[in-house]
Amino acid sequence: MKQRKLEMLLQKVRGFENPDPALEQYATPAPLAAELLHFAYMKGDIEDTVFDMGCGTGILAIGAALLGTTKVVGYDSDPEAINVARENAVMMGVEVEFINCPIEKVSGKANTVIMNPPFGAQCKGSDRPFLSAALNAGNTIYSIHNSGSFNFIRQYIKPSVITEWYTTSFPLKRTFKFHKKDVERIEVEIYRISSLSHHNY
């Protein structure tokens, strides 16, 4: 499936109804979700089992299912978001398992983890549990982070390694009262990480 077609399909996915600023619940825009998923797909990583950590309303997990991977599991600590994610999967005609649990309670192993974790803007270090959980669960991780995160991520994930990364833009829509613009484009970085935390998948 071409990236543009995937993006058009993902435009239909509903976002958060009552986003929580403390959890940094910003919906991943369809263009950015399609870009990350297409990047992973072209690398041959959207296959076997895929986990979406901090899945929110399911846009990345649903996108992975649309690309034909065998099994997709989405994890999120917000039960309301999980309910919307399940409705989105039904609407999109794909099979995704959504599990309501804290990131620290994620169990099992995956070929690939895809995620758009909190950037740590509201709660410093809130991205760290997501990176740790992803490294424990997945062989390969695709993750979106704030611009300027390279040195931190490179150090934090050792002995795992960044195999590729690049900068792109995130059209951040007005979500909370403290947002001043209807849409603000911020620079983000997409990382492909090879996990050396486990070798038994």
Cβ proximity of 166 and 104 under 8 Å: no
Residue ranges with strand state E in 1-156: 49-53, 71-76, 97-100, 110-115, 138-146
* pLDDT at residue number 127: 83
Query: What 3-state DSSP class applies to 36?
Result: helix
Q: Which domains are assigned to the chain?
A: 29-194 (3.40.50.150)
User: How do strand 49-53 and strand 110-115 relate by DSSP bridges?
Assistant: parallel
Task: Kindly report the length of the chain.
Answer: 201
Please identify which residue in the block is written with the tokens 């309670």: 105
CA distance 153 to 150: 5
Query: What 3-state DSSP class applies to 87?
Result: helix
* pLDDT at residue number 164: 98
Cβ proximity of 101 and 156 under 8 Å: no
User: How do strand 183-194 and strand 161-173 relate by DSSP bridges?
Assistant: antiparallel
- The whole-model pTM stands at 0.88
* pLDDT at residue number 97: 98
Biggest alpha carbon–alpha carbon distance for the chain: 47
* pLDDT at residue number 5: 97
* pLDDT at residue number 51: 99
Q: How far is CA 150 from CA 82, 157, 160, 161, 171, in A?
A: 30, 11, 13, 11, 21
Spell out, as residue ranges, where the chain has pLDDT lower than 70.
16-25, 120-124, 172-183, 197-201
Determine the residue type at 198: H
Cβ proximity of 97 and 73 under 8 Å: yes
